[in-house]
Structure 1
Amino acid sequence: MSVRIGVYPGTFDPITLGHMDIIRRGAKLVDRLVVGVTTNASKSPMFSLEERMATVRREVADIGGDIHVVSFDSLLMDFAEREGARVIIRGLRAVADFEYEYQMAGMNQQINPRVETVFLMADVALQPIASRLVKEIAMFGGEIGKFVTPAVRTEMIDRVTVIGRKGS
C-alpha cells in the first residue's frame, strides 16, 4: 500500500491562523503532509528561514497526523517530486487568489502531470488573513492576536520592537 503524500508550500512569514486551518484540513486528506517552507525575497521576510522553520514546527506539533516541516529552495514541482508527493495543497482566500493559483496550477501541471493541485477554501472567519497584512499591522503597533497564535504574536511584537530600535 502506498502512502499518500501531500505538500503545502509557503513562506509562513509569519504562520497565521489561516495557514494553520489549511494544515489541519490538509493533513486529513493525505497520509503524510509535508509543510514546505521556502524563501521569497520579493516578500521581504521578517523572520529568517531557520526561525520560520522552528515556528512552523512548534505550531503544528499538536495537530496530530504525520506532518513534516521541510525547507526548500527549488521549483515547487521538483520539491514535490523529491518528497514523493502526488498532491500540492493550496489555500484560497478570495477570487483574486484563485486567478493566480489557477495559473500556477496549470503551469505546474505542464511541468509535472503526476502531481495534482488541490485547493482548500480558507475558513470564512480566516479568509481575510494574509501574512503581509499581519506584518504591516504589527509594524504600526496594531493588535494581531486575531490573526496568529499567542506565541507567534509574542515573536512578532519582539521582532517589531527590535526593528524599531534599529530604525531609531
Structure 2
Amino acid sequence: MGEKIRRALFVGSFDPITRGHLDIIEKSLRVVDELIIGIGVNANKKSTLSLEDRRLILEKIFSEEERVRVVSYSGELTVHLAERLSCSCLIRGIRDSKDFEYEQTIAQMNAQLAPEITSIFLMSDPKYRHISSSLVKEIASYGEDISPMVPAEVIAILKEAMEKA
C-alpha cells in the first residue's frame, strides 16, 4: 500500500464546515492525489447556510490547494456520484463508535451497489470528536464564540444566516 489513491470523494452537508471536517480533509490529502468535496443537498432538510454560502466557504478555504475540488449534488446516491466522478474511494470521518456503526452499514451497502469503490474510515483527532455542525449552530444561536470549532471563514456568514432565519 505504498501508492496514493488517485481520486477520492468526501461528502457532507457542511452546514457549516467544522474543524473536525478540516481534520479529515487534511488527513485525506496525505493519501490521495485529488480530493473532491461533495456538498450534499437534502431537499427534506432545511439548511442554515445556503448552498451558495457553503460552496463559497469551502472554495475560499481551499483556494490555494490545487488537489481539492468542490462540487454539490442532490437526487443521487453518494456512491453513484463517486462513480460518475471516477473516484476510487469514499472518505468517511469517524468520531466515535456510533459513527462507526452507522458508517459501516452504509459502506456495506455501497460495496454491494458499487464493488469497485472502497470506503475509507479516518478517525477524527480527539480534540475535534465532540464537534458537530448542529452543535455549532446551537452554540452560535446563543451568541457564544464558535471560533475554536469552525474555520474563520464560517463565522460571519453563519451569524448573518442565523440573523435572517
Distance 1:44 1:94 in 2: 25
- Kindly indicate whether residue 73 of structure 2 is the aligned counterpart of residue 66 of structure 1: no
Which one has more relative contact order, counting CA pairs under 8 Å at least 6 apart? 2
TM norm structure 1: 0.90
- Of all paired residues, the percent bearing the same amino acid is 37
Q: 2:14 aligns with which of 12, 19, 24?
A: 12
Is the CA contact 1:39–1:49 (under 8 Å) kept in the aligned structure 2? yes
Q: 1:119 aligns with which of 121, 131, 137?
A: 121
Is the CA contact 1:20–1:60 (under 8 Å) kept in the aligned structure 2? no
Aligned length: 161
Distance 2:71 2:150 in 1: 21
Distance 1:151 1:34 in 2: 19
Distance 1:160 1:3 in 2: 39
1:96-134 deviation digits (Å, cap 9, x = unpaired): 111110100011001000000000001111111100111
Alignment of 1:5-154 (within 5 A): 5-62=7-64, 64-73=65-74, 74-154=76-156
Q: How many Å apart are 1:39 and its aligned residue?
A: 1.2
Once superposed, which parts of structure 1, at least 4 consecutive aligned residues long, lie more than 6 Å away?
Answer: none
Distance 1:100 1:41 in 2: 21
Which blocks of at least 5 consecutive residues in structure 2 are unaligned? none
Q: How many Å apart are 1:142 and its aligned residue?
A: 1.9
Which blocks of at least 5 consecutive residues in structure 1 are unaligned? 164-168
Q: How many Å apart are 1:42 and its aligned residue?
A: 4.6
One-letter amino acid of the counterpart of residue 133, structure 2: S
TM norm structure 2: 0.91
TM-align CA RMSD: 1.6
